[in-house]
Amino acid sequence: MQTGMATNGDVDLFWIDEGPRDGPVVALVSGAGSTAVMWCRELIDPLIDAGFRVLRFDNRDVGRSTRVRANVLYTIADLGKDLAAVLGAADVQTVHLLGRSMGGMTAMSFAAAQPARVRTMTLIYTTPCMADAAEHDLPGPQPEILEALAEAAFAPRPADDDERIERHVADSRRYAGTRYTFDDRWARDAGVADVAHAPFAEPGHGTAIMCSGSLVPVLPILTQPTLILHGTADPIIDIAHARFLDTALPNSTLIEFDGLGHEMPPLFCAEIIDPVLALIEAAG
């Protein structure tokens, strides 16, 4: 395992690099509020075993990356430039992108800006149009989720690490569907890992998502082989977004997971590894 820091202007980005140095690179792009340590080994290890080099990083505003001042706004396009900085620091020319939620938006933004560098994309419970979803007749998050997010925005900082872990478990449970029995131990272990990784963060990721322009206009030029993975019980990004994305992208395959929420537990990672490997191995 190798770690390092990349720089995009005044933003430093912490990254982790595993696997064979000469292997094709798979970059894991995290969602809002999620750090590099939140990816399951059930996804990382099979990729490494198959000969791939796996790169993951902390988005700005979380983990060991730069915390942006509260009055400084940034967009998904800026996060795409952060990804470019990480690839540059790790000396990566071409990449297979795997992004979840906000990370899927970042992946699409980067692919539109630098298409020749992206070999494939795997987009997990994401959307090209969160802020303007209604313009495309797509539903927003479920009301109870919006209420929970509003409460979280005004909640005090966790009093200690234990409370921070409990919040992580509660959030994981709130976003989970019925496809799998909720794995309390996994959620708790993930919270412990996050606490050990870096101090508590209150990122501006939600604002970045809502202030960013729509990605819908660039979808026709995203011709990379793309796999879309989405659950039918996602309370944040409805399955309709995945179906819209699949229709708009020129070279995509959609796999729907009955009962899956906005979650990526070990059982789901183990379930998707075969189609993910099939996609990136077919690209050569």
Look up the CATH number of the domain holding residue 223: 3.40.50.1820
In a domain, 87, yes or no: yes
| Average pLDDT of the residues of the chain | 96
Q: Assess if residue 19 is contained within a domain.
A: yes
pLDDT digits (tens, 9 = 90+) for 33-64: 999 999 999 999 999 999 999 999 999 999 99
pLDDT at residue 194 tops 80: yes
Q: Is residue 191 part of a domain?
A: no
Question: Has residue 272 got a pLDDT over 80?
Answer: yes
Annotate the chain with three-state secondary structure.
Answer: CEEEEEEECCEEEEEEEECCCCCCEEEEECCCCCCHHHCCHHHHHHHHHCCCEEEEECCCCCCCCCCCCCCCCCCHHHHHHHHHHHHHHCCCCCEEEEEECHHHHHHHHHHHHCHHHEEEEEEECCCCCCCCHHHHCCCCCCHHHHHHHHHHHHCCCCCCHHHHHHHHHHHHHHHCCCCCCCCHHHHHHHHHHHHHHCCCCCCCHHHHHHHCCCCHHHHHHCCCCEEEEEECCCCCCCHHHHHHHHHHCCCEEEEEECCCCCCCCHHHHHHHHHHHHHHHHHCC
The answer to the question of residue 30 being in a domain is yes
pLDDT tens per residue across span 202-253: 899 999 999 998 999 999 999 999 999 999 999 999 999 999 999 999 999 9
Asked, for residue 188, whether it belongs to a domain, the answer is no
**pLDDT tens-digit series, residues 7-26:** 999 999 999 999 999 999 99
The answer to the question of residue 125 being in a domain is yes
In a domain, 22, yes or no: yes
**Listed range (14-28, 135-149, 256-270) with the worst mean pLDDT:** 135-149
The total domain count for the chain is: 1
Say yes or no to pLDDT of 154 above 90: no
Mean pLDDT of 57-84: 95
* Residue 10 is assigned to a structural domain of this protein: yes
Query: What is the band of 3 on the pLDDT scale with cuts at 50, 70, 90?
Result: very high
Q: Which domain holds residue 52?
A: 2-142+203-282
Banded pLDDT at 69 (limits 50, 70, 90) = confident
